[in-house]
């Protein structure tokens, strides 16, 4: 039973526009959330994270929003660039889990010129 | 370059064969992890090692064994490969915060 769900397998966006990626979770014990970016034939790389005590975290073009009551988080990329074309994974961890992460299935983002 | 190194990058096995996937990190991280990635399933944890000398099962441990040889190295062994183990395998390490560093993966096909 997947505890972290990314219901959109793919997203196409024009260069310069906003990309919004969504993620839902079911485990109320999760207290830390991360987004990873993955290019083909490479391992995932850390993008941005947020603690459950916050509702927003921003890093340059990337912003993550957390709605704990809805068990929902989203990643906003503004403006989108061709280099942002990749698979994005949402992940979550509970505080006592030795850093074990639960991953969503991923969303393939394609940024078109 | 510093990071997590996985070998081999590609492997084809016949059903019933055994093999060991190697992973080494040079960042002095305490914890190491093995994940598998399958289409539509994201990454799932196979085994992890919270610190040198300890290992523990993750979400999908059946058919695998691991060895934390020292602080740097964490290997994953398939004793009798099955087609269901066809996947991309990622090793990762972590110091004490939540950010993982992943290796580039091993693409394994079992025929």
User: What is the pLDDT tens value at each position of chain A, 113 positions in all?
Assistant: 789 999 999 999 999 999 999 999 999 999 999 999 999 989 999 999 999 999 999 999 999 999 999 999 999 999 999 999 999 999 999 876 667 889 999 999 999 99
Cα A96 from chain centroid?
22
Contact assignment for B99 to A44 by CB distance below 8 Å: no
CA distance linking residue A72 with residue A82, whole number of Å: 27
Contact assignment for B100 to A100 by CB distance below 8 Å: no
CA distance linking residue A3 with residue A48, whole number of Å: 20
Distance from CA of B106 to the nearest CA of A (A): 9
Contacts of B39 (CB under 8 A, 6+ apart): none
Would you say B91 and B34 are in contact if contact means Cβ atoms under 8 Å apart?
yes
For B66-105, how does the pLDDT look when each residue is reduced to its tens digit (9 = 90+)? Answer: 999 899 999 999 999 999 999 999 999 987 666 789 999 9
CA distance linking residue A102 with residue A80, whole number of Å: 26
Partner B contacted by A9 (CB < 8 A):
yes
CA distance linking residue B8 with residue B20, whole number of Å: 9
Partner B contacted by A49 (CB < 8 A):
yes
Cα B13 from chain centroid?
17
CA distance linking residue B77 with residue B63, whole number of Å: 9
- A16: tokens are 């310069």
């Amino acid at each position: 039973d997947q505890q972290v769900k990314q219901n959109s397998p793919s997203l196409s966006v024009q260069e310069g526009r906003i990309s919004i990626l969504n993620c839902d979770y079911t485990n109320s014990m999760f207290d830390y959330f991360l987004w990873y970016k993955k290019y083909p034939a490479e391992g995932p790389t850390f993008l941005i994270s947020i603690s459950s005590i916050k509702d927003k975290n921003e890093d340059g073009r990337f912003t993550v929003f957390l709605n704990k009551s809805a068990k929902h988080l989203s990643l906003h990329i503004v403006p989108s660039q061709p280099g942002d074309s990749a698979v994005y994974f949402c992940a979550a961890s509970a505080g006592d889990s030795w850093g074990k992460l639960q991953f969503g299935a991923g969303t393939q983002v394609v940024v078109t010129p | 370059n510093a990071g997590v190194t996985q070998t081999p990058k590609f492997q084809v096995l016949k059903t019933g064969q055994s093999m060991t996937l190697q992973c080494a990190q040079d960042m002095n991280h305490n914890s190491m992890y093995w994940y598998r990635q399958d289409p539509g399933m994201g990454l799932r944890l196979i085994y992890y090692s919270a610190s040198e000398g300890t290992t523990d099962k993750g979400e999908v441990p059946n058919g695998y064994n691991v060895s934390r040889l020292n602080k740097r190295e964490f290997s994953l062994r398939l004793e009798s490969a099955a087609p269901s183990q066809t996947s991309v395998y990622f090793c990762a390490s972590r110091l004490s915060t939540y950010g993982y560093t992943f290796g580039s993966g091993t693409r394994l096909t079992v025929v």
